[in-house]
Structure 1
């Protein structure tokens, strides 16, 4: 991945990064301001050998080397339970030796004979007493260990060179350090989660996703609109509304498909339900009719018809009644008020939709429609659950597949294309639906012209995406 890919991920997943950072910082703050403060006091021991005061320089040097070689071993005495027990008895402490051991550390400065003893405790005075008590007890233990049998003088002379001082400020917690580390850790965690989620996310969100999945061109992108349930039709929007402009872009791009054909028949479908294929087909048909084209919308989703409801036309008469010969094609047509769009509703839901749609009567219905209209939009069921849309696409000029931003996976989109190829149908193009309103670049030339394509749009406010079409 390149730097721009990471920047794109951060721009798309900024909410995840921010949330992760806030959680880590909040946890660090809760720990920092609730944990008991600890105070630390330090005492120092200086280790000298009997030879340090020798009459010759070489004797003093050998004594210093001897002390340096032994001083590290003396520091290890601090972890002895026996030494801790001695300090507990001397200070009359009410704690176990193992507990006291954990509160004391010993460090040796490189190439020196100085042992620094640090003691931590909730009480400043007790931390001072423990550090001083350990220094005295360790000095006594060193003398005892380094005194040869039968001798009274030890080979080394430990002495307390720096008494333990009374600490005035706690050494832990450190709010500034803890919160700074939490901020860095939270950002790293958030970025890591964002990258991982991006790599695991196989949904279609950009032009690149579509190009990697199918050879079909992207005809347009319909931006997300929170008012889609109450105002599903573009006729209820202002002429400059982003969604209305998006359908005009789609209408323009559709004119370049099969330019030599006098009549164009397009099936509008999707991979799965709920991706917005019905609202897309209805609004595309309305937009074509508003441009002066003689347009017919045929509701061929005979399983879950929704187009007639959206257009508020009678659904009792339509495709099924015409195919059964109960009503003529002309008598079944209805006009959507104010747009001039001709509508052929689905009619009664049949028990055998697939058989009706591949019948000779359906072929005759389409031929009759071609003689009457310039453009025919067929609202069809999703491709993957049933075969209806593929059967219709094989009789039409091609299929327009609607993919929902952040919902349709690349695999589902590829499988939808394969279904069309299996019946010899052409995939005219892809419409990316429910794209967020905030877009950066990639498809147009600014406000009012850039709603055709959105490469890396972000989620709508609140992180929720409405269902634009239950079909």
Structure 2
């Protein structure tokens, strides 16, 4: 994965990452609320030895005082010191073990300065523990040595600190946010690593070793049920026109006059693509005929809402003349040859000499678009691939498996079929996918902002008026 791929992935999953960040931060904050509050306070004093210690000895620390301070440092956590603290502060209400765990001490290496830190569940308790601990140590030492030569001269009394030292809420919130972000990012990367579906332009080209002719976004105008032409979805219409242009430039000197449109598996939108492409070619004043050669599950007649009783099967059987079976779509350059009656032997009909001759004759006058069954379930597409100038292979984002797409391309090349290119169908416009998948539909307003919304509306109105006038 390149840096650019990573940035695209982050951008495409930005909402999920932000949600993970927010949830992690909230969990960190919630965890901090469940933790007990701990308050801290510390006091400092000088340890002196003997009655005659002067101020200089106190500040610099005599050798004896330094040795005593270091030697008695471990007494801070002793039971005797804890008992003295309890006796001096009965209101603290702490056990001996709790006091021992809450105290820590250190000695300055250059003097007899000793510092004691205490923690407790309240600021007052922490202050009392820190202030009384040094006096308790001095008393225990004097009791042990049987004298009162050890003194503790206070330097800084413990202060009352109302802010708890634990839990560290900002730290826990940041830690939770980072953990939430990392988990979501790991899940996104794992999903991309193990994902077997077609997701990106690179997935399609690597699987088939062919170029991309076009990318059709998710649109109500080019759904599986029907092909609408309201011209309200400028993005989908422009994508179809771009697909038509790219098809023409596959071979500039000898553009394809006939081609089949197929997919690896059913339900990937091959009939939608063939219908949209045929209509786009006809809209460019190029005589076009679309043949429904999917004799197992014909859908072209339903999409264009024409009669499907008479069609290809009757023409190939010699029961009907071609001119009687072909239907013109409205007042356009598009002609439709429906599938007709579903035969018991579709493969034999499509692989027959009559089918090849029919395609050859039609391609002399028309651009022939043939909708055929998927490649992997049946052999119809492979049989017809040598009767046309090329194959347009369709894959659907989030549905087509990359291995199936690769296998379909392999099967077609095994029979010397020429793959003109790929059409990626149902590309997401927004949310998870658009920029990461490289489909360039991140801004739905890009088309109208360039050409002008009013201009497009006027064009749509003029076309609607023209159609209404012709029907009248």
Give the TM-score, by structure 2 length: 0.75
Task: Show the counterpart of 2:264.
Answer: 271
Partner residue in 1 for 2:360:
367
Against the structure 1 CA distance between its residues 356 and 111, is the aligned structure 2 distance closer, same or farther, given a 3 Å change threshold?
farther
Residue 455 of structure 1: aligned partner: none
How do 1:84-103 residues align onto structure 2 when only pairs under 5 Å count? 91=90
Give the distance between the partners of 1:358 and 1:450, measured in 2 at CA: 49
1:235 counterpart SS class: coil
Any conservation in 2 of the 1:318–1:347 contact (CA below 8 Å)? yes
One of 226, 247, 257 as aligned partner of 2:240: 247
1:220-264 per-residue CA deviation (whole Å, 9 max, x = no partner) reads 2222325544984252224x8121111111111111234455862
Distance of 1:327 and 1:219 partners within structure 2: 36
Counterpart in 1 of 2:397? 405
Q: Confirm or deny that 1:257 pairs with 2:250.
A: yes
On the 8 A contact 2:222/2:228 being kept in 1, the answer is: no
For residues 41-83 of structure 1, what are the alpha-carbon distances to aligned partners after superposition, in whole Å with 9 as ceiling and x for unaligned? 44557656779969x99x96654663575466456x37x8x97
Larger displacement relative to structure 2 (305-314 or 127-136): 127-136
- Contiguous gaps of at least 5 residues in structure 1: 452-471
In the alignment, is residue 435 of structure 1 matched against residue 427 of structure 2?
A: yes
Displacement of 1:140 in angstroms is 5.8
1:22 corresponds to which residue?
22
Offset, 1:345: 1.8
Q: Residues 280 and 152 (structure 1 numbering): CA distance in 2 closer, same or farther, change over 3 Å?
A: same
Report the counterpart of residue 414 of structure 1 in structure 2.
406
Deviation at 1:106, TM superposition (A): 1.8
Equivalent residue for 2:468?
A: none
Q: Is contact 1:51–1:62 with CA below 8 Å preserved after alignment?
A: no
CA contact (8 A) 2:221 2:227 kept: no
1:345 to 338, 342, 357: 338
Task: Describe the shift of the 1:3–1:258 C-alpha distance in structure 2 as closer, same or farther (beyond 3 A).
Answer: closer
Once residues 106 and 369 of structure 1 are traced to their aligned partners in structure 2, the CA distance between those partners, rounded to angstroms, is 96
Partner of 2:387: 395
Pick from 297, 301, 306 the counterpart of residue 304 of structure 1.
Answer: 297
1:220 corresponds to 2:214:
yes
Match of 2:106 among 89, 105, 108: 108
Contact 1:117/1:135 (CA < 8 Å) preserved in 2?
no
Residue aligning to 1:6: 6
Segment drifting more, 162-171 vs 385-394 = 162-171
- Correspondence for 1:66: 67
Residue in 2 that maps onto 1:294: 287
Unaligned runs of 5+ in 2: 451-472
d(CA) in 2 for partners of 1:226 and 1:84?
79
Q: Give the stretch that moved more between structures: 272-281 or 38-47.
A: 38-47
For residue 236 of structure 1, give the secondary structure of its aligned residue in structure 2.
coil
2:41–2:159 Cα contact (<8 Å) kept: yes
Query: 1:457 aligns to what?
Result: none
CA drift at 1:447? 4.7
Question: Do the aligned residues in 1 keep the contact of 2:256 with 2:389 (CA within 8 Å)?
Answer: no
CA distance in 2, matches of 1:166, 1:298: 89
8 Å Cα contact 1:38/1:171 also seen in 2: yes
Once residues 154 and 350 of structure 1 are traced to their aligned partners in structure 2, the CA distance between those partners, rounded to angstroms, is 116
* C-alpha distance 392-155 of structure 1, shift in aligned 2 (>3 A): farther
> Structure 2 vs 1, CA of residues 227 and 254 (structure 1 numbering), >3 Å: closer, same or farther?
closer
Which deviates more, 129-138 or 10-19? 129-138
Is 2:308–2:340's contact at 8 Å kept on the other side of the alignment?
yes
Aligned to 1:171: 165
User: Residues 180 and 253 from structure 1, CA distance in 2 versus in 1: closer, same or farther, beyond 3 angstroms?
Assistant: same
Q: Structure 1 residues 352-361 or 286-295, which shifts more?
A: 352-361
Q: Distance in 1 between matches of 2:256 and 2:32?
A: 73
User: 1:142, 1:331 → 2: CA distance?
Assistant: 119
Query: Cα deviations across residues 64-122 of structure 1 (Å, max 9, x unaligned)?
Result: 663575466456x37x8x977886787477777666666x252536637524232121x
SS at match of 1:106: strand
Inter-partner Cα distance in structure 2 for 1:17 and 1:359: 56
Higher mean displacement: 89-98 or 337-346: 89-98
**Conservation of the 8 A alpha-carbon contact between 2:216 and 2:240:** yes
Q: How many residues align?
A: 436
Query: Secondary structure of the residue that 2:336 maps to in structure 1?
Result: strand
* Counterparts in 2 of 1:257 and 1:116: CA distance versus 1, 3 Å: same
Q: 1:7-44 deviations in whole A, cap 9, x for unaligned?
A: 22222221221121121122233344565544334455
Seen in structure 2, the aligned counterparts of structure 1 residues 232 and 31 have a Cα distance that, compared at 3 Å, is farther
For the residues of structure 1 that align with 2:245 and 2:314, how far apart are their CA atoms?
A: 34
For the pair 1:152 / 2:146, whether they are aligned, the reply is yes
Q: Mean alpha-carbon deviation: is it higher for 398-407 or for 198-207?
A: 198-207
Whether the aligned pair in 1 keeps the contact of 2:226 and 2:302 (CA below 8 Å) is: no
Output the CA distance in 1 between the equivalents of 2:52 and 2:315. 116
Q: Are residue 285 (structure 1) and residue 285 (structure 2) matched?
A: no
1:125 corresponds to 2:124:
yes
Matched position secondary structure for 1:269: strand
**1: CA distance, partners of 2:164 / 2:214:** 63
Distance apart, 1:285 and its partner CA: 0.4
Distance in 1 (CA, whole Å) between partners of 2:348 and 2:51 is 109
| Pair 1:368–1:159, CA change in 2 (3 A) | same
**Residue 284 of structure 1: CA displacement?**
0.3
1:47-62 alignment to 2 at 5 Å? Answer: 62=63
Distance in 2, matches of 1:181 and 1:380, equals 56
